Structure 1
């Protein structure tokens, strides 16, 4: 039996890889340890090349645009000086980057996968990849690997020809070689979905990058109103994993970049940025995809690079 492909991880990269395979008539099994699709805005920026990749995969650009909002310009305000960069590149559906909540991006990718006859098994975790030596086993002759999965019905083992690990930067699977995490010293990102006071609100379609002697941060407009706030703050090793309170977010925004918030922030999280690249993206039957292969200090680079890699990996596996 051939064509046994397992994709572990149903984030944007894993879903797009599955879509590319299904569009070419290649069956694959997609599992994800989460109980269901992720919620929240998470990383919202899709660049023009990524939009072209999604369009080629059959994900409607019009549906993406209805769920999102165009990002037309970046405005930099640094120590009292300011400048703007126009992000548009002509006319048409790919003229500007798109801001879309990641939950909506995953929904559209999942709809496309289902339309092609695919599905995701949520609540199923990849525990281990065992390489075979090429001999016969009780799972079948010559299966390059056996995966160990844990789901609602217990633990199972299954033969596979390929394992695509799209388990994210935090996903660690026995039998899959991954790099050690490296965290830049002295920095952490604070991110939150916020409402900004009217006098501090950027114009529609404009991202603000703010920097002065007190800190560095930015405001990204989100579909449907509100903004993604990001702040670069000094590291706090004693409490690096503690999530800030809403009051701390409001104070950090005022103190670091002079932005006044109204109401209570929505989703809040803090991360210590990591930067690494795996020694090899392909190791026998295992392929690393997206953040499982490398991690960028800025999450937006991970999302867009992961989607572009997924599109390329899909047709190559199918071939």
Structure 2
């Protein structure tokens, strides 16, 4: 039996751009890029000091790792950040749209600018703006495989009380991300993979106080980044973790809404998972 050809590795020799790269999952993605043989890595974050310290540590491996202070909620900073990066490292071959924030509480308690607009800017619009800026070069350069990893959330697959704005930002991320994948495929740009990662709660501190639904343990950042990175390298279109995310999505699709509400609330306890949410201090 003839072996199937392996998908080309998009990481080895690549220039990788990671948003929210100073800590948490962003740091773990950067470490995976180093281990995977990336040529250069750009860490974008509003915390320049922490990002610079991480860049210095990772550069000891021989990979060119640089930190950039970029507030991705502002489109003009994305454009300026890319200009600096292109001058120093070149165009990104791999983009990880990792940065995100979360706001909890009932919708009408959310401040229009500080909570609603900022969440949509950081979690959704920033990824759109940034990807739009880097895609033309990715499309034109067919010399190597390219990859885009968009960090969405299981919150973008199911409604959940006390996280309406966050859920909205991730529903938009999923729809946009997978649509871009299909657009690239339809136009023959198959050297660019787009992976959408939809995890349940992750113990990064962002969801402090949240409780995992039935049979859905809160994942460690290591578990989450491992699954997401594997999807990026393999070009998997959609990665949902843990398995209960797929189960809940399937049940929501076949059950009448009012029946699903009872199941989600009384059986899986999805609707009460954010009841004691506190979030990361200062986030």
Q: Shorter-chain TM-score: what band?
A: under 0.3
Higher relative contact order (CA 8 A, sep 6+): 1
- TM-score, normalised via structure 2 length: 0.27
Q: Choose 1 or 2 for highest CA Rg.
A: 1
- TM-score, normalised via structure 1 length: 0.25
Structure 1 or 2: more strand by fraction: 1
